[in-house]
Amino acid sequence: MSTNAIVLLRNDHQEIRRQFKRFEQAGDNATAGKAKIVDKIIELLTVHTYLENEVMYPEVRRLLPELEDDVLESYEEHHVADVLVAELAGMEPDAERFDAKVTVLIENVTHHMDEEEQDWFPQVRAGLGRKQLKELAPG
Ligand SMILES: [Fe+2]
Ligand SMILES: [Fe+2]
């Protein structure tokens, strides 16, 4: 994993936040429009979560064992988002609980992305920097 990977993940976050804002700004009655935005959100989250679960998190866990607890917490946060996404995927957009469920998804994922950006990515960058320095000068 490179610093570039972190840049790519950050770009994903930006696009996800943009879609969240579009949903929040859509009117109460914009059911069809909001359904499309939610499809897009689900698509973005699915790709992003896959990359983190299968590539980034295992790599961080291997290289930086001191971040293990953060990795495990992140897997649980992804799991909560997956549950909400699965429920939304099977729900009619005019269902009474649709907007409320999307709002909770947005709150959860925003919290998670904030933590990754403010806490985790800097630690990964610093840790990998150290590790790479070590490899250059072993011992
Ligand atoms: Fe994540
Ligand atoms: Fe992320």
The CA 93 to ligand 2 mean position distance, Å, reads 26
Helix, strand, coil percentages in the chain from 3-state DSSP, rounded to 5: 85, 0, 15
Q: Output the CA 74–ligand 1 centroid distance in Å.
A: 6
What integer pLDDT is reported at residue 136 of this predicted model?
A: 66
Ligand 1 center–CA 7 separation, angstroms: 14
- In this model, does residue 71 exceed pLDDT 90? yes
Ligand with smallest separation from the Cα of 44: 2
pLDDT in tens, 3-55: 688 899 999 999 999 999 999 999 888 999 999 999 999 999 999 999 999 99
Distance 127 CA to ligand 1 centre (A): 18
**CA distances to 17, 25, 36 from 89, in Å:** 19, 21, 11
Give me the pLDDT at residue 13, please.
98
Q: Is the pLDDT of residue 139 over 80?
A: no
In degrees, to the nearest 5, what angle opens at C-alpha 83 toward C-alphas 5 and 104?
Answer: 85
Q: What is the C-alpha separation between 94 and 65, in angstroms, rounded?
A: 45
Taking the C-alpha atoms of residue 86 and residue 127, their distance in angstroms, rounded to an integer, is: 34
If pLDDT is split at 50, 70 and 90, which confidence band does 116 have? very high
- CA dist 117 → 13, 80, 82, 125 (Å): 9, 19, 20, 11
**Listed residues: CB within 5 A of ion ligand 1:** 52
Task: Map residue 64 onto helix, strand or coil.
Answer: coil
pTM for the predicted model, two decimal places: 0.90
C-alpha 77 to ligand 1 mean position (Å): 8
